[in-house]
Amino acid sequence: MSETKLNGQVTIVTGAGGGLGRSFALALAAAGARVVVADCKLDGAAGTVEQIIAQGGEAIEMELDVAEEASVERMAGSVAQRWGRIDVLVNNAGIYGGITRKPFFEITSSEWDELMAVNLKGPWLCARAVFPFMRERGGSIINITSATFYSGSPLWAHYVASKGGVIGLTRALAREAGDYGIRVNAIAPGFTLTEASLQLIEEAAQYGVNRGAIKRAQQADDLIGALLFFAAPDSDFVTGQTLVVDGGRQFN
């Protein structure tokens, strides 16, 4: 633990039981934050916490279903009760890896609703739940959207629409939360190698590489600079923005 940029800041990362969320949680802890590792899979969350503690950081796991209002409210209340503040929320949890890609006319109504509940309603519920604990001191909300919104990536219309919704939510919340010193920004990763993305697309390791200005596969670590920028006071005057981090595949 050498960096102290986020010294003692209480940071919630949803969906941090694996994949990008785990990388985010590890990086925030390494920057000095106290991290709440929240996931619907408690064993994954516990694994992340174990790694953070092994690095000398501070973290706790919490079971959370971002689509369930009561679960989200409970999580925010427990964090505030334990640490008395919430400084940063990373809305990362999403239905992503398990998606069966198919034409829009084959997506069922229940698949659409389930995905929207997690990917779009979830970030709103989480932002709403942390607001009472951020409004006095200010804070930062970071929404993880996707570069698929800019490419209009085919065969998962519900996913792309949900991520577009997250960009709209980011802008609307930023307008309203500015008066409370809360900034709201989004990161739009390109196709990034995680366990989930490797299952999603054949030949994932080379997917899209030639379309980038920087021609190599994207790793979770490529997102950390943007994450820490939005989490830390460096971005104090930046809000409502979406930063595409994809090696220059999409220009926004």
Ligand X SMILES: NC(=O)c1ccc[n+]([C@@H]2O[C@H](COP(=O)([O-])OP(=O)(O)OC[C@H]3O[C@@H](n4cnc5c(N)ncnc54)[C@H](O)[C@@H]3O)[C@@H](O)[C@H]2O)c1
Interface with ligand X (CB under 6 A)? 14-15, 17-21, 39-41, 44, 64-67, 92-97, 118, 144, 146, 189, 191-192, 194-197
> By the 8 A CB rule, do 222 and 165 touch?
no
Tokens of 223: 């997102």
Of 28, 47, 40, 22, the closest CA to residue 88 belongs to 28
**Residue with CB nearest ligand X?**
19
Q: What is the DSSP letter of 180?
A: G
Q: How far is the CB of 186 from ligand X (least distance, A)?
A: 10
Neighbour order of strands in the sheet with 58-63: 58-63, 34-39, 10-14, 88-91, 139-144, 182-189, 242-245
Q: How far is the CB of 180 from ligand X (least distance, A)?
A: 25
Q: How far is the CB of 8 from ligand X (least distance, A)?
A: 25
Pick the closer one to ligand X by CB: 69 or 136. 69
Active-site residue flag, 180? no
Pick the closer one to ligand X by CB: 114 or 135. 114
Which of the residues 96, 159, 180, 207 is marked catalytic? Answer: 159
Pick the closer one to ligand X by CB: 146 or 185. 146
> By the 8 A CB rule, do 189 and 147 touch?
yes
Catalytic sites, residue numbers: 159
